[in-house]
Structure 1
Amino acid sequence: MTDSYMIGVDIGTTSTKAVLFNGNGSAINQATVEYPLFSTKVGMAEQDPKEIFRAVQYVMKKCQQIHSDQLITISFVSFSSAMHSLMAVDKEGEPLTRLITWADQRASSVMDSLEENEALQIYQRTGTPIHPMSPFIKLRWLKNEYPDMFQSADKFISIKEYIFYKLFGQYVIEYSMASTTGLFHLENRQWDDEALAVCEIDSSKLSRLVPTTYKLTSFHKQYEQALSLPAETPFYIGATDGVLSNLGVNAITPGVFALTIGTSGALRTVVRKPLTHNEGKSFCYTLVDDYWVIGGPVNNGGIVLRWVKEQLARDVAEEAVTLGVDPYDHLLQIASQSSPGANGLLFFPYLTGERAPLWDADARGSFVGLSLHHTKADMIRAVLEGITFNLYMVYETLEKHIDTPRCLQATGGFSRSPFWRQLVADIFGLEVLVPESYESSCLGAVILGQYGEGTLKSLHAVKEIVGTLHRHDPNQIKHEVYQKTYSLYKQMTNALQPTYKELAQWQKSL
């Protein structure tokens, strides 16, 4: 007997994952490969694209290995990918640079050379905030820093474009990824001539634009064995991890938000027409047809909690090992011993600069209000609250532009913690739901593939696939405490932000 399956591949910042789904959308098997992030210079965050291509091959083959005596057929493969990556390649498709990821901050050096009014106009046409994460800004930086390489480059592409070129010999980019470059006109779905002119390139240096449901077949036969697939297997180009995460958790109806806290974090919701912020504080990226995802990404999610574990609470981590429990679970259990508002302690989580809501690469982290009576539990809780308050600030920038918010669909590592989920519900004052599938981007990719092949007539059929594991209602008393705390948090944010640039310069001078 032969069963038919689908593969969703998610090319992430620190790892690539492939998930094997059956026809009902249930995850059957998965495989993951991690790879290093090169950061040998201040602000650098690069990766080896060839290593990522090897990872893609490995996980696609590995996830199919479920039963040695069972024959399986893969009906299609569909892709998700991290946003904002950029690399230069020559005429043979060989990399001239490593992959520059969204986390790379070096392009901040060219931010001041762009006039504020011009930058805002480009943002309002393209939907990508003006920030060092953006390939639009990265291109300007590459031209300044490496002019000879910049001139000789044949193409400037993202990691998914590189993967598809290696497999199919074509340079294609889907509307979703294109709309994260800062070079794509949201309304007419073409490369934006004015943004290209500012970067001093033309569209021949970029890939061909295609819909997110675009299908390719006949990959190079040399990869058949490595992928354990026949060359005629359909490959759907898919979309970016952010918009597919919304799809994969059924956050595509009015008033429903997808809240992700992993290493970084994001808050996103779907609208039916392109929508940008009058001050450039939110993104707008294409999903399909008349579906756009708006929201804001934050740099500082679980990475801050990891810093706490490694720098402030090593004894807690060691105690967790002795007790035979997960160190992060133990940290959160200790945080629960403090009260809402962390006994009057605020934490601003900007350890890696910040994208939304500040869009300030120079932002720096801090505790405010620290005194002798504060305990380790207070400090850990303040960190969790600070991460969540920062996402609540993103929520405030979106709330006025959308239908009445109804609930949050929670994804990412934080969604495994009942304590943190409830804390989020109490701060936002909204119901928090946890979908059955944690693999939201991979599931979103295969749902998009099914939509592309016509087996799903509407994206809203996802509600029949995605169930709910956990539900948290906000505690109104705690929400009122958090509203007062948040008011002070915002005041302090406004007071501190003007100092960040000078503080960053001082740090670099030491």
Structure 2
Amino acid sequence: MSRFMIGLDIGTTTASAVIFTPHGEVVSEYECAYSTYHPKPSWSEQNPLEVEKAARDAITSSMSQSRLDATDIIGVSISSSMHSLLCMNEQNEPISPLMIWSDSRSYPQAAIMNETYGKGIYENTGTPIHPMSPFVKLIWMKETQYGPYYEAGRFASIKEYIIYKWCGQWKVDYSIASATGLFNIHTLEWDSDALAIAGVHPTQLSTVVPCTEVVGPLSAKIADELMLTTETPIIIGSSGGVLANIGIGAIHDDETALTIGSSGAIRRFTPERTTDDHQRTFQYVFTKEHNIIGGASNNGTVALKWLARQFSTLTKRDTIETFDLESLAATSSAGANGLFFMPYLAGERAPKWNAKAKGGWIGLTLSHNSADMIRSVMESVIFNMYEIQEALTEKAGPTKKLLLSGSFVRSPLWVQMTADIFHKTVLLPKSDHAITWGAAWLGLYALGKVNSMDEIKQYIPIEKEILPSVKNIVIYEEHYHLFKELYVKNKPLFADLDRLQQ
């Protein structure tokens, strides 16, 4: 009898496959990395063939490590990052690189859209007008005479491409479709206004299906390579953000998931379909009854990793670990002695939606030291996430539970900062596999192996509860208001700085 489920996550930099028991115990796991290419400033591209191969290799290696038989596997459930875009020809072959979410070449088109039709498109689709959006990327393709755009018989995300390669079907789940900026969250159909502006016909897009849809069967060649059978169910799944919420148990509308890896995001489930007047948040469809509201930041642990590289160069050491920086930051006090950092090293999505935003220290004096500089960088990341949380609270009401996930939870200092800045007790689930466990559980639900999504909570033990420091809450409240003001005052300079840097 089949007893194990595979969760596959096609992330921004790696494909990860984890084999779980139905209770969430990890049997084996494997991760394969792929490259991101930057042929021009603000361009971020990947080779779809490399990504698809990494997804295959991750499952094959995980199966090989587990020593399980193909008949032991209940199914494979897929997660992927959002906002990727690929041009395909009439023969269903890629004719362009894969443009990923961080590609910001379409900034001029986004700026114009925000001054014209952008608000209406956002209200229909729930996707803020920003270069990350495939909708805006398509406008760039059209306006710059991008060759593959005019030759394309189809436009697809990386997940759609992989499903076609493996199963021969062009299908897309609600959440990935929502994140294109082309899908109407109210009618649950491709949005005619967005398609007309982008110059795309509905026949060039996949069929939109529920996240529980079983696609397939696998081709014999792919099944053999994955060490599975052609009858192994492949569940289309959802986006990584949605599944991270499920994987840590933040599935009720008063529970918030805060995830910070290289980038960061805050998300909540909600039965409502509403947008924000200032486009600070996104709203994507998960099922016909459930939606996810939230905001994503470009700048998470990547800011600290950037700083570690600079310290490494200055000290002529091969590497300096971020752990070393965190230990030093702990010797500074809350508020970093009045030093602020604007964390927009990669531009910013929520809540600013400004691809030209820049980073930098404000308030630096001769009295400040490296510990203050490091701590200010760490605090700025959490300040920005808290600003997104404020927008969520306005739209969806207060949150009762704040659950954390992502690599930043390995830092006790960063976790304590989160509790202090959010002035709320934070919960740390024990699992390190939020996205893939969420995908696996969704697969179990889709196949009728569990009765409800709620049941996952009994298989996600809470490892720690971190209480906020009353003293630090007072300090951070004052610093947070100044942090927001610094962005407003410096925003007019960002476009000029960007012009000089280009």
Amino acid paired to 2:235: Y
Aligned with residue 393 of structure 1, among 382, 387, 390: 387
Matched, 1:468 2:495: no
**Corresponding residue for 2:487?**
493
**Corresponding residue for 2:429?**
435
Q: Distance in 2 between matches of 1:347 and 1:225?
A: 52
Question: Matched residue of 2:64: which SS?
Answer: coil
Matched, 1:293 2:287: no
Amino acid paired to 1:233: T
315 and 355 in structure 1: CA distance in 2 versus 1, 3 angstrom threshold: same
What RMSD, in angstroms, separates the aligned Cα atoms of the two structures? Answer: 1.7
**Corresponding residue for 1:502?**
496
Q: Distance in 2 between matches of 1:507 and 1:492?
A: 21
2:18–2:26 CA contact under 8 A, matched in 1: yes
More displaced stretch, 498-507 vs 40-49: 498-507
More displaced stretch, 163-172 vs 71-80: 71-80
Deviation at 1:317, TM superposition (A): 9.2
Q: Distance in 2 between matches of 1:305 and 1:398?
A: 26
**Corresponding residue for 1:200?**
199
Matched, 1:103 2:102: yes
Matched, 1:379 2:373: yes
**Corresponding residue for 1:261?**
260
1:250–1:466 CA contact under 8 A, matched in 2: yes
**Corresponding residue for 2:404?**
410
User: What are the superposed Cα offsets for residues 196-255 of structure 1, whole Å, 9 maximum, x if unpaired?
Assistant: 011111101111111111002321111122100001100000000011111111111132
**Corresponding residue for 2:190?**
191
Deviation at 1:280, TM superposition (A): 1.1
Question: Matched residue of 2:17: which SS?
Answer: strand
35 and 186 in structure 1: CA distance in 2 versus 1, 3 angstrom threshold: same
**Corresponding residue for 2:209?**
210
Q: Distance in 1 between matches of 2:215 and 2:103?
A: 31
Deviation at 1:373, TM superposition (A): 0.5
**Corresponding residue for 1:424?**
418
Deviation at 1:115, TM superposition (A): 5.4
Deviation at 1:340, TM superposition (A): 0.5
Amino acid paired to 1:387: V
Q: Distance in 2 between matches of 1:148 and 1:416?
A: 45
Q: Distance in 2 between matches of 1:385 and 1:312?
A: 18
Matched, 1:163 2:162: yes
Amino acid paired to 2:456: V
Q: Distance in 1 between matches of 2:314 and 2:425?
A: 35
User: What are the superposed Cα offsets for residues 479-499 of structure 1, whole Å, 9 maximum, x if unpaired?
Assistant: 110001111111111111122
Amino acid paired to 1:30: E
**Corresponding residue for 1:347?**
341
> Structure 2 matches for 1:220-231, cutoff 5 A?
220-231=219-230
Deviation at 1:414, TM superposition (A): 0.2
Deviation at 1:320, TM superposition (A): 7.8
User: What are the superposed Cα offsets for residues 260-312 of structure 1, whole Å, 9 maximum, x if unpaired?
Assistant: 11011111111112121111110011222311111100001111111100014
Deviation at 1:86, TM superposition (A): 0.1
More displaced stretch, 117-126 vs 79-88: 117-126
Equivalent pairs, count: 502
115 and 286 in structure 1: CA distance in 2 versus 1, 3 angstrom threshold: closer
Amino acid paired to 1:270: F
Q: Distance in 2 between matches of 1:330 and 1:178?
A: 41
Question: Matched residue of 2:336: which SS?
Answer: coil
Q: Distance in 1 between matches of 2:384 and 2:90?
A: 44
Matched, 1:484 2:478: yes
Question: Matched residue of 2:40: which SS?
Answer: coil
More displaced stretch, 269-278 vs 178-187: 269-278
Amino acid paired to 1:226: E
**Corresponding residue for 1:41?**
40
70 and 311 in structure 1: CA distance in 2 versus 1, 3 angstrom threshold: same
Deviation at 1:440, TM superposition (A): 0.9
More displaced stretch, 124-133 vs 208-217: 208-217
Identity %: 37
1:320–1:330 CA contact under 8 A, matched in 2: no
Deviation at 1:72, TM superposition (A): 5.9
2:2–2:74 CA contact under 8 A, matched in 1: no
Tell me the TM-score normalised to structure 2 length.
0.97
1:316–1:330 CA contact under 8 A, matched in 2: no
268 and 71 in structure 1: CA distance in 2 versus 1, 3 angstrom threshold: closer
**Corresponding residue for 1:324?**
none
Question: Matched residue of 2:486: which SS?
Answer: helix
Q: Distance in 1 between matches of 2:219 and 2:447?
A: 22
Amino acid paired to 2:476: Y
Amino acid paired to 1:126: T
2:214–2:233 CA contact under 8 A, matched in 1: yes
Tell me the TM-score normalised to structure 1 length.
0.95
Question: Matched residue of 2:194: which SS?
Answer: helix
364 and 434 in structure 1: CA distance in 2 versus 1, 3 angstrom threshold: same
Amino acid paired to 2:27: I
Question: Matched residue of 1:63: which SS?
Answer: helix
Amino acid paired to 2:371: A
Question: Matched residue of 2:395: which SS?
Answer: coil
2:75–2:233 CA contact under 8 A, matched in 1: yes
Amino acid paired to 1:291: H
For structure 1, list consecutive stretches of 5 or more residues without a partner in the other structure. 322-326
1:270–1:291 CA contact under 8 A, matched in 2: yes
315 and 406 in structure 1: CA distance in 2 versus 1, 3 angstrom threshold: farther
**Corresponding residue for 1:23?**
22
More displaced stretch, 370-379 vs 306-315: 306-315
1:216–1:234 CA contact under 8 A, matched in 2: yes
Q: Distance in 2 between matches of 1:407 and 1:426?
A: 15
197 and 319 in structure 1: CA distance in 2 versus 1, 3 angstrom threshold: closer
User: What are the superposed Cα offsets for residues 327-369 of structure 1, whole Å, 9 maximum, x if unpaired?
Assistant: 1211111000000000110000011111111100110001000
